[in-house]
């Protein structure tokens, strides 16, 4: 019989990253409350967890207060891909700001530790490369990406103000591109887009000339980072970058997907979207030194696992 390690709340728990985190916490012996409104997620991601007696699911929008008793809060709730967060930008900002206020209020009442998954998008189209946590960013505050970029920047502000004003135990991590099984086939992220296009024989869409760069972290590595951050000492607040420092052009990613799927459906080139970052690479020195964390799964190996997942999903 597994002895419960504590009570953890995961907002956005039915999403891509949240569902992996729920599973990991259950495996580690936690009782887990998964909260999600299913705006950009699916119950299928957590279906295999429902029989676990230590797992509870609440359909809830974090822009409204939540009253539960927990020891740790992983605050992931917010649509993370442009296709979702730009569909309703006002609601995206409300989720980032009001959602954080509500979860911080819950942490204040219960005395829980609370972790925010912020994003590399707070660096905008960076003028510093690679990006360190000390860099303040280059963000267009009135652009089409601002609802997410500035929403997360405001969320970070709220976390640190609650820490200073109310002595809350906060943890802030800035996540760089993450990929792996359970990604939604149509969530608009580049890895899933390329794989789905190849497996369905549709042209791979590349914006610009494909020379913009990204760094891709496999989901299990990212979950290890989140757990390490939550378990770090009270003096560790962040922000801390979590991501794989390997830097690839979008054209290189497309070539690797074509190679591993064995399908070349052709390539379609479209103009770059507004404010699309030209270079993105995390400096993870702080994560290595503070958390003893760094990713172990290289892009080629992670893509193989992700492609295998999508082969199974797309034939259903």
| Distance set, CA 61 to CA 45, 70, 162, 187 (Å) | 18, 18, 21, 20
d(CA 121, CA 277): 9
N-term to C-term CA, the chain: 36
Say which residues have a Cβ less than 8 Å from residue 91's Cβ, sequence separation at least 6: 39, 63
136 strand-pairing partners: none
Judge whether 257 and 195 are in contact, CB under 8 Å: yes
d(CA 280, CA 212): 8
Residue 230, helix vs strand vs coil:
helix
DSSP output for 119-182: EGGGGBS-SSSSBPTT---B--TTSTTHHHHHHHHHHHHHHHHHHHHH---EEEEEE--EE-TT
Say which residues have a Cβ less than 8 Å from residue 18's Cβ, sequence separation at least 6: 10, 11, 12, 34, 36, 41, 45, 74, 76, 77
**Catalytically annotated residue among 85, 148, 162, 218:** 148
Judge whether 205 and 270 are in contact, CB under 8 Å: yes
Burial of 35 (0-12, 13-18, 19+ CB in 10 A): buried
170 strand-pairing partners: 114
148 catalytic? Reply is: yes
Instruction: State the number of CA atoms in the 13 A half-sphere of 253 facing the CB.
Output: 32
Active site residues: 148
């Amino acid at each position: 019989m597994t002895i419960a390690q504590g009570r953890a709340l995961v907002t956005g728990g039915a999403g891509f990253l949240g569902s992996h985190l729920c599973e990991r916490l259950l495996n580690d012996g936690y009782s887990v409350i998964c909260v999600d409104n299913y705006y950009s997620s699916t119950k299928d991601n957590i279906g295999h967890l429902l029989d676990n007696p230590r797992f509870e699911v609440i359909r809830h929008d974090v822009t409204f207060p939540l009253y539960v008793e927990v020891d740790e809060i992983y605050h992931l709730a917010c649509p993370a891909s442009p296709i979702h967060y730009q569909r309703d930008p006002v609601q995206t900002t409300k989720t980032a700001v009001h959602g954080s206020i509500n979860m911080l209020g819950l942490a204040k009442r219960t005395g829980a530790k609370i972790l925010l998954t912020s994003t590399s998008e707070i660096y905008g189209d960076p003028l510093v490369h690679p990006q360190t946590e000390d860099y303040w960013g280059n963000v267009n505050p009135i652009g089409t990406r601002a609802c997410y970029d500035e929403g997360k920047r405001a969320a970070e502000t709220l976390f640190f103000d609650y820490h200073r004003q109310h002595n809350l135990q906060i943890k802030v991590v800035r996540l760089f591109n993450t990929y792996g099984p359970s990604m939604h086939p149509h969530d608009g992220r580049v890895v899933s887009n390329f794989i789905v296009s190849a497996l369905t024989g549709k042209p791979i869409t590349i914006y610009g000339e494909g020379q913009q760069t990204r760094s891709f972290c496999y989901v299990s590595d990212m979950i290890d980072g989140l757990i390490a951050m939550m378990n770090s000492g009270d003096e560790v607040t962040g922000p801390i970058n979590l991501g794989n420092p390997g830097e690839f052009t979008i054209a290189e990613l497309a070539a690797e997907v074509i190679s591993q799927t064995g399908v070349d459906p052709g390539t379609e080139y479209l103009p770059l979207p507004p404010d699309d970052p030209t270079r993105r690479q995390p400096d993870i020195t702080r994560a290595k030194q503070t958390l003893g964390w760094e990713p172990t799964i290289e892009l080629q190996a992670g893509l193989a696992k992700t492609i295998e997942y999508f082969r199974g999903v797309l034939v259903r």
